[in-house]
Structure 1
Amino acid sequence: MAVGILFLGPLRDIAGKTMLEVDGPLDWHGLLAAVGPRVAEQLREERVNVACAGLVLQDKQSLMAKDGDEVALLPPVSGG
């Protein structure tokens, strides 16, 4: 099994893909390595959130995804 990483909004454009599968378990450092330097730079920004298994993490650096989990990378939301 694997962990699915879902790129949303502008992060999808930066990554050049919608989804990536990596071997689990996956922690914060593994996530940064898996997504490449341009997306990793964005993830370090406070306004970008990470959800794991449907729950937005209060501390994204505490990420610990296991096989079968989906990790969603959530760009900042703009409104008007």
Structure 2
Amino acid sequence: MTVTVKLRFFASLREKLGEGEALVLPDGSTVGAAREALRSRGGVHAEALAPGRAVRSALNQKMCTESAVLADGDELAFFPPVTGG
């Protein structure tokens, strides 16, 4: 079985990767697995989502860790950390 999640990218990630897309993953996949699947595409995806890069994630509009499990129809957003001043 698989799950399809709607990806959304914000701020500098949107500039590099676009607004978003649908991603199909094996059932039981995590946020970290989704990030790795995107990185495995190489190029700009590998650079923008590299392991050393500070990238935050939100699952269905709630901050989450990379261990969060994805369900079919979830919305997964990636964005850089926000600073204020």
Unpaired segments ≥5 residues, structure 2: 40-44
Structure whose CA Rg is larger: 2
Shift, 1:63, TM fit = 2.7
Higher helix share: 1
How many residues are matched?
Answer: 75
Is the contact made by 2:10 and 2:77 (CA closer than 8 Å) also made in structure 1?
yes
Q: Which amino acid aligns with 2:21?
A: L
Counterpart for residue 42 of structure 2: none
Could you say if the C-alpha distance between residues 48 and 31 of structure 1 is closer, same or farther in structure 2, counting changes exceeding 3 Å? closer
Counterpart check, 1:38 vs 2:54: no
TM-align CA RMSD: 2.1
The ranges of structure 1 where at least 4 consecutive aligned residues each deviate by more than 4 angstroms after the TM superposition are: none
Could you say if the C-alpha distance between residues 44 and 72 of structure 1 is closer, same or farther in structure 2, counting changes exceeding 3 Å? farther
Is the contact made by 1:6 and 1:70 (CA closer than 8 Å) also made in structure 2?
yes
